[in-house]
Structure 1
Amino acid sequence: MGSDGFIHTLLASNGADSEPAVPFIPPNARPSSLIWVDGVVYTTTSGECGAVPSAVWAMDLTAPEKERKTVSWETRAAGIAGSGPALGTDGTVYVAVGKAAATGSRSEYADAIVALDQRILRPKDWFSAAGADFNASPIVIRDKDRDLIAATGNDGRLYVLDAASLGGSDHRTPFAVSGRYTSSGAGAALATWEEQGTRWILATAVGPPPTDVTFAANGLAPSGRVVAFKLVERGTSVALEPAWQSRDLVSPLAPVVVNGLVFAVSSGEYRPAHAGATLTADERARRSVPAVLYVLDAASGKTLWTSGTKITSFARAGLAAGAGQVYLVTYDNHLYAFGIPMEH
């Protein structure tokens, strides 16, 4: 999708348009990544760029060309968190909404996780927690015969919701919630996996560790860290059990889990402690340090391998993994690929 808001379908062989571009969202917006499920494409917009509201957008590209239309749902004065929506196993669209955008503005869905109909984006259910200020896209966890939704907020907590009733009858009762495990502003995506019947959830944390939650530590971590929770059964409900925290990581990126190993990045990016501080891109770059990739034991968080000084700039984009490789893009426009050498 270009800045004009048109969707382009490209040929993988040469990048040429395979069909005419389709108008999707207003121009000059700030969209998230595109998600394509069952012929429907989704994105979100945030930041009011180009006077485009914070909203979720969808279009069914399987419909005949003349019948294609964009549907949207606006948050009304609250920002959408993360890199886009998440979809449940039944097609429900879940989106995380932060605090109201301005003093005095009101939004029914501020500080909320909202469930939307997959085709018309009408709200079906929601969970709201005062002051949560959700800061990353939710994830969907398939637990037995139900979907669970996990999300983090700038209140420093991890929330788990039952998709069958996100917040109970009052829309304010989570299925499970952790204690405060981080200062505000971590905002990296969650990771999850299941190992020998145990469901794990990874989150990032920044600043000195709060005392509300205790993890098995792998050294002091005053700058930041990856933290691991176990999702454990408590009768008919669940609870979040703190497991481990990693070594110290500077502005950690969202971790990924591959073949039972946790890949975590100390991004090295300088982020002012004061939320209102303003720095130019050059000033932030000068204060940043090179990124480091770590491989951690998924059960304990212990460091198994490190990239050392191989990376020469800080990183802002997340990790990607595939075909036995882990990829990281850095600020100086380099793409790093790490993997196990194979004989050919």
Structure 2
Amino acid sequence: MKRWLGLSIGFSFAAALGCVTSAGAQALGNWSSPRNDMAHSGWQKSENIMTKENLSGKFKLLWKIKLGTTPGKDSMSYSEPLLVPRLINARGFKDFALWAGPEDLFAVDSELGTLLWTKHFDVKPSPCGATNLTAVAEAPVVINFRARRAPGTPPPVPRPPTKASERHIGVSPGGGGFGIKGIYVLTGDGYLHEQVVATGADFAPAVKFLPGPTGVSGGLSLDGKTMYTASRAGCAGVENAVWALNMGATDYPVASYKTGSVAPLIAMGPTVSDGVAYAVTGAGKADAAGEVHANSIVALDATAKVKDWYTPAGAGSLENVTPVAFTYNQKKVLVAPGKDGSYVLLDAASLGGADHQTALACTPPVSKAKAGSIAALASWQDGEATWVLASVPGPLKDAAKFANSNRAAPHGSIVAFKVEESAGKTTLVPAWVSRDLVNPAPPVVANGMVIALSQGDASTHATLYVLDATSGKELYSSGDAVSTYAHGAGVAVGDGHAFFVTHDNTMYSFGIGMEH
């Protein structure tokens, strides 16, 4: 409570000083989108409660809660809890863990594990199979406590709260530091909704995003006032396309990058960096005149126009692996899936060079993914060292030579690469392989540790592991604490806690508890 009160007082004081910003820094405990940010880093930079030294005896199962009814079968879409801390509702300050199920959005008190509210969306289930709703929260307001106004400069006047009659999706709610926070939800009828995080109430009327059903959800990415998603053909007239909605215009124009027979391999929303959205495409018929590029990494602007692309030379298909964007040696780069289970390092300013086929670096083939698997990359920095992690949903190929192995991994693993300079070239150096993980969820990094979820399967329960991020060594295992398996699940981390949801809609919280 002292921590909450201190933050609230500091928040008001900071607003008076004029030093509240929405820059790229992270608020403590915030996890506003799958993989934590639009670059899909999977890195919780703010974590300082959970350390390697205090895992033993302190990091444990804190609570679990069943959310709604059990779906008829496993969801075909990816889902991950979102975390929005330090909000005020009728019960005082609360930290919210939010999760989108098949028909409902749930808000849970992340400290106590109690249900705060449920929002039901009365829409028909997707005709394309069992899928969850897709959600992304507004980016956190970040406080720059070092900022100071010039002497004699009056403090900024906070904008008053927006009147209910003037609200529309994407508009700033006003109200200063304690303004309304929103979470966006895409439902199976193609409408985009905005809910008030503190209460679950509608912030404004929903707007049409997709012309038809969403199909298997491709996730949501929010970059400023541009919302991105993807759809994949397969039923009920759903098209293969990446879509961009301009929430800054009152008529909500929607642009699209349609790819014909080529499916966008997007599960968590496009990776976005510096206003550019990156999409992985699968097999299909390429169309140079229509700028449709199969088995490629395609860069799109906010109007869904193709800016650049990378297509690996020779035959080979790309996997459903979400890229990660970051800065290395003052250069914007992207690590993405290469052909046949490899990974490539690309220059964000020129993805494939003049011929669109030249990467900065390429690893040997690492694995062959299972059909229907969802994997992702992550990046983090340890002092001057830059690391890239990948979830591998099957055994490694013989050509993949890693310096350090932590037991055999026949079912799956997390693998780590170091980004290094060698002979004037940037390379991805294989560093370590984790212990065996059954259907590993995308890796998450916090305070020099990797939080790795072995999702299990119909005959194996899920297990949460904490690994040393520089060696892959196991530091913690949840053992038999989780009773069933997870499917298409992601892990969110904040304030010394790790959250995930199993296939039966049970949310679990592991971490270091607070005294109440």
Pairing 1:20-99 to 2, within 5 Å after superposition: 20-30=205-215, 31-63=217-249, 65=250, 67-82=251-266, 83-89=268-274, 91-99=275-283
Matched, 1:199 2:386: yes
Determine what percentage of the aligned residue pairs are the same residue.
Answer: 40
Tell me which residue corresponds to 2:480.
Answer: 309
By how many angstroms is 1:59 displaced? 1.3
| Contact 1:99/1:134, CA 8 A, preserved across alignment | no
1:172 to 340, 344, 357: 357
Tell me which residue corresponds to 1:335.
Answer: 507
Matched, 1:325 2:325: no
| Contact 2:375/2:393, CA 8 A, preserved across alignment | no
What amino acid does structure 1 have at the position aligned with 2:366?
Answer: Y
Task: Give the 3-state SS of the residue equivalent to 1:80 in structure 2.
Answer: coil
Q: 1:188, 1:242 → 2: CA distance?
A: 18
Tell me which residue corresponds to 1:111.
Answer: 295
| Contact 1:43/1:85, CA 8 A, preserved across alignment | yes
Task: Note closer, same or farther for the CA distance 1:165–1:106 as it changes in structure 2 (3 Å cut).
Answer: closer
By how many angstroms is 1:206 displaced? 3.6
Q: 2:227, 2:424 → 1: CA distance?
A: 36
By how many angstroms is 1:236 displaced? 4.1
* Unpaired stretches in structure 1, ≥5 consecutive residues: 270-284
Tell me which residue corresponds to 2:306.
Answer: 123
Q: 1:330, 1:290 → 2: CA distance?
A: 9
> Residue by residue, what CA displacement relative to the aligned partner does 1:270-312 show, whole Å, maximum 9, x if unpaired?
xxxxxxxxxxxxxxx3xx3101010001111010000000001
| Contact 1:154/1:184, CA 8 A, preserved across alignment | no
What amino acid does structure 1 have at the position aligned with 2:480?
Answer: T
> Residue by residue, what CA displacement relative to the aligned partner does 1:139-159 show, whole Å, maximum 9, x if unpaired?
111123221111125611011
| Contact 2:240/2:259, CA 8 A, preserved across alignment | yes
Task: Give the 3-state SS of the residue equivalent to 1:73 in structure 2.
Answer: strand
Q: 1:181, 1:214 → 2: CA distance?
A: 9
Q: 1:99, 1:9 → 2: CA distance?
A: 34
Task: Give the 3-state SS of the residue equivalent to 2:212 in structure 1.
Answer: coil
Ranges of 4+ aligned residues in structure 1 off by more than 3 Å: 105-108
Tell me which residue corresponds to 2:418.
Answer: 230
1:246 to 402, 411, 434: 434
By how many angstroms is 1:313 displaced? 0.6
Q: 1:9, 1:183 → 2: CA distance?
A: 39
> Residue by residue, what CA displacement relative to the aligned partner does 1:225-253 show, whole Å, maximum 9, x if unpaired?
11100011134431110100011111111
Tell me which residue corresponds to 2:395.
Answer: 208
Q: 2:436, 2:430 → 1: CA distance?
A: 17
Higher relative contact order (CA 8 A, sep 6+): 2
| Contact 2:443/2:452, CA 8 A, preserved across alignment | yes
What amino acid does structure 1 have at the position aligned with 2:329?
Answer: K
By how many angstroms is 1:183 displaced? 2.1
Pairing 1:293-304 to 2, within 5 Å after superposition: 293-304=464-475
| Contact 1:94/1:113, CA 8 A, preserved across alignment | yes
Q: 1:201, 1:209 → 2: CA distance?
A: 17
TM-score normalised over the length of structure 1: 0.88
Q: 1:209, 1:18 → 2: CA distance?
A: 47
TM-score normalised over the length of structure 2: 0.60
Q: 1:335, 1:187 → 2: CA distance?
A: 20
| Contact 2:466/2:477, CA 8 A, preserved across alignment | yes
Task: Give the 3-state SS of the residue equivalent to 1:155 in structure 2.
Answer: helix
Tell me which residue corresponds to 1:220.
Answer: 408
> Residue by residue, what CA displacement relative to the aligned partner does 1:37-62 show, whole Å, maximum 9, x if unpaired?
21111111124443121111111112
Q: 2:369, 2:514 → 1: CA distance?
A: 42
By how many angstroms is 1:327 displaced? 0.6
By how many angstroms is 1:9 displaced? 1.5
2:345 to 160, 171, 190: 160
